Amino acid sequence: MDTTLVWLRQDLRLADNPALSTAAERGMVVPVYIWSPDEEAPWAPGAAARVWLHQSLNALDTSLQALGSRLIIRHGPAEAALLALARETGATAIHWNRTYEPSAIARDKKIKAALTANGIRAESFKANLIFEPWEVMTGEDCPYRVFTPYWNAFQGHPEPAAPITAPDAIRAPDRWPESAPLDSLGLLPGISWDTGIREAWTPGEVSACERLDVFASELMTDYESRRDTPSRETTSLLSPHLHFGEISPREIWHTCKRAAGGRGKAALPFLRQIAWREFAHHVLYHFPHTTDAPMRPEFEKFPWRTDAKALRAWQRGRTGYPIVDAGMRQLWTTGWMHNRVRMIVASFLVKDLHLHWLEGARWFWDTLVDADLANNSFGWQWAAGCGADAAPYFRIFNPVLQGEKFDPTGDYVRRWVPELGALPAKWIHKPWETPSTVLADAGLRLGENYPDPIVDHAQARAQALAFFAQIKKRG
């Protein structure tokens, strides 16, 4: 009976996994995960993502064992590890689901050639996107740079195929090859800074499916009207599960459509966000340089500042602007931040502090459990005004007004910036304007137990617009 290696990467699930299901139909299966972070440089998985990955691999192995299989873990390089496993198991084919990071595309192409040269059939599948990056193109067969026409074209394509059910059983090889211990990957930190992440999340396919069911049945109909309220759980919280492939975008799409029933439009605001993710991968595939360089070349000349002290204050949630600090502390504690607040803190970094968007991208990459190269690069370039479908550079979020609009009672700030907890809602987003008697009653001493603002927003906004005018004039 033929044996197939299934090389798992960003598809740590059993359901709707075409590489796995096709292999299971073919014969015996050896599922394998290869840890080769150097091959993903300079964007190897960050610290928070590694914590998630450790737990996700453990959950996947448990699910595989329930079907009579198991997960084999090896250290890279990937090509050498796959060839060695093929020799050890007599595998005649290797399956994987495609990923779209520039380093992965180059590596997979090289590995496919090496496998073919060794008489091993290499077969890749679409599993991590609804549409391949080359399937939704303009009428001139060019990539899209603006989301709205991309979304219109996306909706014009046939409905995504139904997700594939998980195999009932997976045939094991006659003899299992050796597997490296999960702990040998060194994914968990040496000191326990990840307590908040472990308390906030349960990685794995089972948890992903449960979270999707709760969102689709209880939260989705109010998603459009409530998604910008960071103090309440109104979003899907599926982003890390989706990044690691614990659930597929097709599963999300069809579950939400089914939950909407005859009210199909109720699902569209959320499904539009799934398409936004697809658009980010579309942009990365066609413009791979955007991981490190702006799509709009004139921004190469932007006079970004270097200020280690200001950067550190932003990273640690010590800017003196409560909504910014709340978001950065939520990120540091849980490995995640509400999307509206992500936009606010990103705007503050690039347009108030005038620090390079890559500083923010690198920090998010290391601290987000849902760190995804396409979405991270796309989002930061959007905030900086230098990427595809970017927010106009003159659109500069006022952190006080953003806080008052989206956290009017201050509940979000009080949760993550407890030193401001006793401030009335009227002052919680601008403590520096608070009357001294109110500050005293709240036990707040600005500059001591909470920082003064590290920058004046009005002045910083004027300077940012002046910088933009300079590069626009230079052309």
CB 120 within 8 A of CB 31: no
The CATH superfamily label for domain 3-128 reads HUPs (3.40.50.620)
Please report the pLDDT score of residue 330 as a whole number: 98
Least confident stretch, 103-117, 204-218, 262-276, 433-447: 262-276
Residue range 182-186: average pLDDT? 98
- In sequence order, the 6+-apart residues with CB closer than 8 A to the CB of 415 are 231, 326
Residue range 314-319: average pLDDT? 98
Cα gap 426→421, rounded to integer Å: 12
Least confident stretch, 182-186, 350-354, 407-411, 468-472: 468-472
- Among all chains, which residue has been given the structure tokens 């193109």? 137
Cα gap 467→462, rounded to integer Å: 9
The CATH superfamily label for domain 297-474 reads DNA Cyclobutane Dipyrimidine Photolyase, subunit A, domain 3 (1.10.579.10)
User: Which CATH number does 129-162+205-286 carry?
Assistant: 1.25.40.80
pLDDT at 473 over 90: no
The model's pLDDT over 439-470, given as tens digits with 9 standing for 90+, comes to: 999 999 999 999 999 999 999 999 999 998 88
Cα gap 47→306, rounded to integer Å: 24
Please report the pLDDT score of residue 264 as a whole number: 66
* Core vs surface per residue 67-77: b (16+ CB within 10 A) or e: bebbbbbbebe
Mean predicted lDDT score pLDDT of the chain: 96
> Within 10 A of 96 (CB to CB), how many other CB atoms are there?
24
Residue range 305-321: average pLDDT? 98
Please report the pLDDT score of residue 394 as a whole number: 76
What are the boundaries of each domain within the chain? 3-128, 129-162+205-286, 297-474
Please report the pLDDT score of residue 471 as a whole number: 83
350 Ramachandran zone, left/alpha/beta (phi>0; psi -120 to 50): alpha
What are 376's two structure tokens? 């991270």
What are 375's two structure tokens? 């979405």
